Structure 1
């Protein structure tokens, strides 16, 4: 009987060791498969990331082009508005002469010429040149630039607050 018990124990150990080896082999196969899938997912993510980066660059270039077009269009409209304002001031100068005196009419004509000259200068420069002029102005007079920005911001805030009421 002792031999039968020993055989059963040996057989149980043998089966246990075989199952353990099979489990180890299965775990190794799963590890290999998981590694291959992870590699495939990483490659897919990299490709998608590259595609997205390319799309973002394209959208950025389109936005930059559109912003340039809008800035040029806006510059043209401002130049036209200044020119029209200068003409309107010039046209009212005779009325100012009659009502307030020649001295004030001359002020109106001088203001009109300044507006016309500013309009011509603005129209002649590119948006890039205007940007560089603005940067130089801020470097030379940072306090004045901050003051102008504050007044402009205040006026814009008042203008938009008035529209909500």
Structure 2
């Protein structure tokens, strides 16, 4: 048995050399790992900087597009306002003309009403024609802004009546469109 112990002792010496080699390999692995970590950190920082730069670039592009869209929307709004004003002026002129024409028609037929129904009813027709002509003249004298303000004031004073008139107008328009489909 003594030979066995003697044979084991020389093997231990190389084991301590293996431990030293293993220790230097571990140090080398730690160094390589540390370098890899540093490279990863540097890469992450570079990616972060690139992402930040791209985000800034996209942000600037978006701001530019947003400003373009905003200016286009403003242009469209201005165009719509001009067109709406033109249509309102045209509608006002047509309404004034229609009321005036109806006034003339009633006035011209007042003598016929005198003959058929009596002077009293003819006078009612003349008064109605005069009132219609007066309303047409007042409507023609006002500009669109004044009419809008008058409408707002009317709604403030009589909201129930305004809602009722809007409902009746909506009903009439619906009947007109329904009648045109049949």
Using the size of structure 2 for normalisation, the TM-score is 0.84
Is 1:75 matched up with 2:92?
A: yes
Q: Which residue of 2 aligns with 1:122?
A: 139
The aligned length equals 165
Is 1:64 matched up with 2:81?
A: yes
Measure the CA separation in 2 of the matches of 1:127 and 1:115: 20
Q: Which residue of 2 aligns with 1:42?
A: 59
Match of 1:9 among 26, 44, 60: 26
Measure the CA separation in 2 of the matches of 1:32 and 1:60: 41
Report deviation, 1:60: 0.9
Unaligned runs of 5+ in 1: none
Using the size of structure 1 for normalisation, the TM-score is 0.92
Instruction: Give the aligned CA root-mean-square deviation in angstroms.
Output: 1.5
Report deviation, 1:73: 0.9
Measure the CA separation in 2 of the matches of 1:135 and 1:6: 92
Higher relative contact order (CA 8 A, sep 6+): 1
Measure the CA separation in 2 of the matches of 1:59 and 1:145: 31
Deviates more, 1:126-135 or 1:95-104: 95-104
Structure number with larger C-alpha Rg: 2
Q: Segments of 4+ in structure 1 off by > 3 A?
A: none
